[in-house]
Structure 1
């Protein structure tokens, strides 16, 4: 009985914690934004309407952000014809370009996004992965890829890109 109560408490606390570190939630419209990409082109929410968007928020000093990038690239490779893969980074254009010289990360990058990420989204945890439907409604919010322990293995291992696939496929099927 104690273990059931603990699990319920932990689940409730976990759900509250997830909501407490971001201002938006599943079912909300994604907030309007106007940010520049690495080529100085302005991208807005209106540019994305009518498309499913997988949005990753990150910064180059975030170890979990960097660790999940190879798996996010695999997700993009698999769904690139059906989904817009976009990143918003706290980093400047120059910092992001420098970072990309040594790290393969194939999303379109919106830079200098700190004011939007912190003041509008209220994001206090990174990485964050948000799936937005064709009507600009938030359909899924996750932290980075979780670390899991496979049966028979001693060490935790980061999940692969398929962690996001079920949510993405559900949204694409609508």
Structure 2
């Protein structure tokens, strides 16, 4: 499971969302979930307009509290046994590469 915590005013969050959609298409057995503290209408407006193809949780307070002062986005990867294998703030090419390599290792492909 890949959990991505974001909000609408976060540029890096919005830039990485199409990448997550690509990964969701490539790894259909991996669950992708996003969490956002904003209201349902705001989240739905963005996700539907952009065609983001994973599960979105609006009005979230659980995951968004975990962001703290580190900033958005926060990405968490949990293996099939429920063990957190990755948890980092920020979005950049290096982080994307780390996450993708971990997904490939966990699903046993590529």
Range of TM-score over shorter length: 0.7 to 0.9
Contact 2:36 2:59 in 1 (8 A): yes
Distance in 1 (alpha carbons) for counterparts of 2:21 and 2:6: 14
- CA deviations 1:15-37 (Å, max 9, x no partner) are xxxxxxxxxxxxxxxxxxxxxxx
Q: Which residue of 1 aligns with 2:81?
A: 135
Q: 1:105 to 1:144 in 2, by over 3 A?
A: farther
TM-score (norm 2): 0.82
Q: CA, structure 1 residues 116+75, in 2 after alignment: closer, same or farther (shift >3 Å)?
A: same
Distance 2:67 2:15 in 1: 23
Q: Which has the larger radius of gyration?
A: 1
Deviation at 1:54, TM superposition (A): 0.7
TM-score normalized by the length of structure 1: 0.54
Give CA-to-partner distance per residue, 1:105-126, whole Å, 9 cap, x none: 211001111x21244x254311
Change (3 A) 1:168 1:112: same
Cα distance in 2 for partners of 1:118, 1:127 equals 10
Q: Which runs of 5+ in 2 are unaligned?
A: none
The residue that corresponds to 1:112 in the other structure is 59
In the alignment, is residue 66 of structure 1 matched against residue 1 of structure 2? Answer: no
Question: How large is the Cα RMSD of the aligned pairs?
Answer: 2.1
Q: Which runs of 4+ in 1 moved over 6 A?
A: none
For these two proteins, the number of residue pairs brought into alignment is: 107
| Runs of at least 5 residues in structure 1 that lack an aligned partner in the other structure | 1-52, 149-158
Q: Describe the SS at the equivalent of 1:87.
A: strand
Aligned pair in 2 of structure 1 residues 136, 77: CA closer, same or farther (>3 Å)? same
